[in-house]
Structure 1
Amino acid sequence: MQPEPGSSRRSFLKTRVGAAFAAGTPSVTQSQVTAAAATCNRPLPRITVHADGHLLCGDDGSPFFWLGDTAWQLIQETTRDECSYYLHTRARQGFTVIQTVVLAEFDGVKQTTTERLLPFADQDPSRPNDPFFDRVVEIVEEAGRLGLYVALLPTWGDKLTAPWGAGPRLFRTDNLDVAQGYARYLANKLKAHFNVLWILGGDRPPRTEAEDTKPAQDWTPIWRALADGLNEGLGSRPTIVYHPSGGSSSSRWLHNEPWLSVNGMQSGHGGGHDVPVWDMISHDYALSPPKPTVDLEPNYEDHPYNPWPQWDPAIGYFRDHDVRKQVYRSVFAGGCGVTYGHHAVWQFANRRHPVENHADRDWIDALYRPAARQMAFLRFLIESRPFFARIPDQSLIAGDPGRGGLHLQATRDRDGSYAFIYFPMMDLPVTIDLSRLRATHFRAWWYDPRTGVATPGSPPLTAERTEFRSPPYGPDWVLVIDDISRNYAPPGLTRLA
């Protein structure tokens, strides 16, 4: 006998989600929560690529910083209450984008959602099940009320590519009209909601080269068909980013595809500590024509370190410092934002089903892990200085910027009125070339990426080359250098218009 829909999960909700709501779980700061609430009361603008080609903005000209969270299994694995709790929490924490999937990775075509819904009749994508997609619309609507954008994958990559995954392979080069029709249907249901961004790819390459006995394969025509369907369903050009497999960027294959708005990359979890994501971002930033670039999947917080092909528990997990090092250096290298992820959250790990790949806690506990709470401080820092003038500039660092865990990354604005330099370790001496800035007197701050608090670093500076040493605790810091004449507020404190 089948239980009443949702009945087997209510005790979990009462003990975890309900208790967390009642307790008034921590967020960022009260002033930031108030500001977020004000945003929710205004219609969200549609997001597009800024005229400079490297950043994102609203269609009203407002700056937009992509601060994403991977919630890949949100539609498939959460109850209504759980989904609402998740969205409220991430909104309070200052995230701007929720990345999730319609046809989920873990048997999202054959297995019902927690609401007992399937996406298609008889696994036929030309026969969509309206109640399933109505639920997708409800999630997008709730996110919008909270000031959140949803970066939506119409399908995980295994539903059309062969290398790995459960599938089934619904979309093929011999049924491109089916892929296009599905995307058209989905986009048409969501065309009234401006808080939707689109992701294609789903952890898969768009094509592979011939290797040993394996022939070359090219799924690009299917992705084009999906993009065409989105365009037709929306009646306007969608903003699309591509999510490739680990260690790669979409620019390798797709930079010149006209439907691709933003290059996506996955620096990933399998390359060890301090994967040089700054090099990946710099490569994409230099391409012509310019397109924004964003790391959609850096090392997740509490993800097992290098777990493939077999994980050794002795080498542990990526923790908050690992996350901060990657996201700050990614953005300072030229990213239009960055995505955070937690290994228990993306899969919504709980006792209803086995956890994937050694998750060490459930998703509700994971929502409040240190890096999750700290991500907003990166966004607030970027938004506290001129937004659209930001460029990467390693020449601010006189000498070798270091490698791996000691690599420093610098950014400034075109006018030379401010600079940010990320120091990955404490007590690290570096000479900064202030001649790259266009001022005669400077103010320095040390910005703490764990708390979002800035401390004045020194008396006013005038020398062209000045040595700075990061504070002797931390471990990591951001050096902020301002033109005194601009009278900027302390870093991270006030959002500039």
Structure 2
Amino acid sequence: MSRLEVDQNQSNFVLDGKPFFYLGDTVWSAFTNITTEEWEYYLKKRKEQGFTVLQINTMPQWDRCASNQKLYPFATKDGYTFDFTRWDERYYENARKMCRMAVEKGFQLALVVLWLNHVPGTWGSRMIDDNVMPREMIRPYTEKIVEEFDEFHPVYVISGDTDFDTPQAVEYYNIALETVCEKSPLSLKTMHIKRGYDLIPEEFLDRIDFYMFQSGHNKEGQDMAYKLPESFREKYPEKPMINAEPCYEQMGYSRKAYGRFQQEDVRKAAWSSILSGACAGVTYGAHGVWNWQKINKPQNPVLGEGFDAPFPWQEALQFPGAWDYGLIRRILTDLRVRKLVPANELLENDTEEIRMAVSGDGRYFIYLPYSTRLSIRKELPDCTARAVDLENGRNADVESSVENGRTVLGMHPFQKDVLLIVEEMR
């Protein structure tokens, strides 16, 4: 089995020496909630849709839906509070079986080691502290994770949805990261951090291989999809970047605000991130898949964020946005795009919602939420331009002209968002 690596360009990944686009799905609750039969169907469907990576929590997701599985990583009397000194080997046996099924289908795994509610001094453990892991168990637990799962060559996501605002949180995650580096030196490591957050402690920077950020599920603040990669590019050494938790399709707006994110919203979050520097990949989420809502089970109350109720997983698995994310991978893979450098400074249009990047080989990629004329601060006299309808996959030629040292692109004929691909003739 091959191991995922960082490309020499420090912007993307390679697998077996070939470019690899990280198209992830958040199925955080897989190891506790999903039966073998359900998992088999899930893997088949996500493979058809074009996904390449599965993001799974190795601990029970704190806001998962109810399940009859009764599988937990530690001994427990009530299915809620754990005895961190006693493993439940049934859990790991089942989890390894699920991992084996996934890798046999061609998926890469991204396994979260320590979700924030198990770590003192995080926003999650301040909300609910019943299962904070004792400090002395961090290293044994992390060793256990590597021992059980390293044969599958996963990406190790050391933290889950966390902040690093206290010395305790930094210490816990430092122990976990140090342990994974020691026990699995060749694996890729990263940190999954909370919505709108861009702080990575300096002591972690030389030991993580790429950055994950989260534009999240607040209706206000969706501009984080492009502002966070801009911030990471400015503050930190160059490494691949991924929006590891953009708004999920049909997720209710957080803070109990009325409304749900639609297919077009999740497309916008993805392309806004990719063309702003996070071109290594992107992660999708469906409200009902990440927490695995079953038809005959009560809906989960969802701690903290106050989201509206999820859809049954069978319905959520079919949301149309999943196919749109598969199209992202196909477009960039078919065009052999290895690196995208943000280039919004070339656009004259007065809005940050339009995002632009260049590939370095005479191609310009522009995400356009609504049809309008565009002006590029560069003469491209013999360029070709086409608009890809991101909902239906249709293509249309777009007129271009050079005026006063600028290249002007005409309106495209589609009523929703498109990707404009402009190529210089060489």
Q: With structure 2 as the length reference, what TM-score do the two structures score?
A: 0.88
Q: CA deviation at 1:50?
A: 1.9
1:255–1:263 Cα contact (<8 Å) kept: no
Show the counterpart of 1:92: 48
Q: 1:338 to 1:107 in 2, by over 3 A?
A: closer
Write the letter of the residue equivalent to 1:425.
Y
Q: Does 1:410 align with 2:352?
A: no
Q: Is the 8 A contact 2:342 2:357 kept in 1?
A: yes
Matched residue type, 2:314 = I
Distance 1:256 1:75 in 2: 28
Q: Partner letter of residue 364 of structure 2? A: A
Letter in 2 for 1:188: E
Q: Which residue of the partner structure matches residue 79 of structure 2?
A: none
Q: Name the stretch that deviates more: 199-208 or 337-346.
A: 199-208
Partner of 2:193: 244
Q: Of the candidates 274, 277, 288, which is equivalent to residue 334 of structure 1?
A: 277
Structure 2: state its 5+ residue gaps. 77-81
Contact 1:186-1:233 within 8 A present in 2 as well: no
Aligned counterpart in structure 1 of residue 131 of structure 2, from 165, 168, 187: 168
Amino acid at match of 2:37: D
What's the CA shift string for 1:71-116, capped at 9, x where partnerless? 11111111111122112211110011111111123389xx997443
Instruction: Give SS of 2:249's match.
Output: coil
Correspondence for 2:375: 431
Alpha carbons of structure 1 residues 320 and 183: separation in structure 2 relative to 1, 3 Å? same
1:250–1:140: structure 2 CA closer, same or farther, 3 Å change rule?
farther
Aligned to 2:308: 358
TM-score, normalization: structure 1? 0.76
2:148 & 2:281 partners in 1: Cα distance?
28
Alignment of 1:222-301 (within 5 A): 222-234=172-184, 236-251=185-200, 253-254=201-202, 256-272=204-220, 274-301=222-249
Q: Which runs of 5+ in 1 are unaligned?
A: 1-42, 209-216, 486-497
Displacement of 1:52 in angstroms is 2.3
Matched, 1:72 2:1: no
Q: Offset at 1:349?
A: 1.4
Separation of aligned partners in 1, 2:177 and 2:60: 18
Question: Larger relative contact order (C-alpha < 8 A, sep ≥ 6)?
Answer: 2
> In structure 1, what residue type is equivalent to 2:369?
P
Structure-1 residue corresponding to 2:364: 419
Offset of residue 452 of structure 1 = 2.8
Identity of aligned residues (%): 23
2-structure distance, mates of 1:297, 1:166: 24
Aligned to 2:7: 50
Q: Residue type matched to 1:248 in 2?
A: Y
Residues 111 and 157 of structure 2 are in contact (CA less than 8 Å); yes or no, is this contact kept in structure 1? yes
Cα deviations across residues 383-429 of structure 1 (Å, max 9, x unaligned)?
123433432211331x24404xxx111111123x2111000113x22
Distance 1:285 1:452, change over 3 A: farther
**1:430 is aligned with what amino acid?**
L
Q: What is the aligned length?
A: 409
- 1:124 and 1:166 map into 2 onto residues whose CA distance is 14
Instruction: State how far apart, in whole Å, the 2-side matches of 1:132 and 1:380 are.
Output: 36
Corresponding residue for residue 202 of structure 1: 160
Deviations 1:173-209 (A, max 9, x none): xx2xx21121112112222223x1111221121234x
RMSD: 2.5
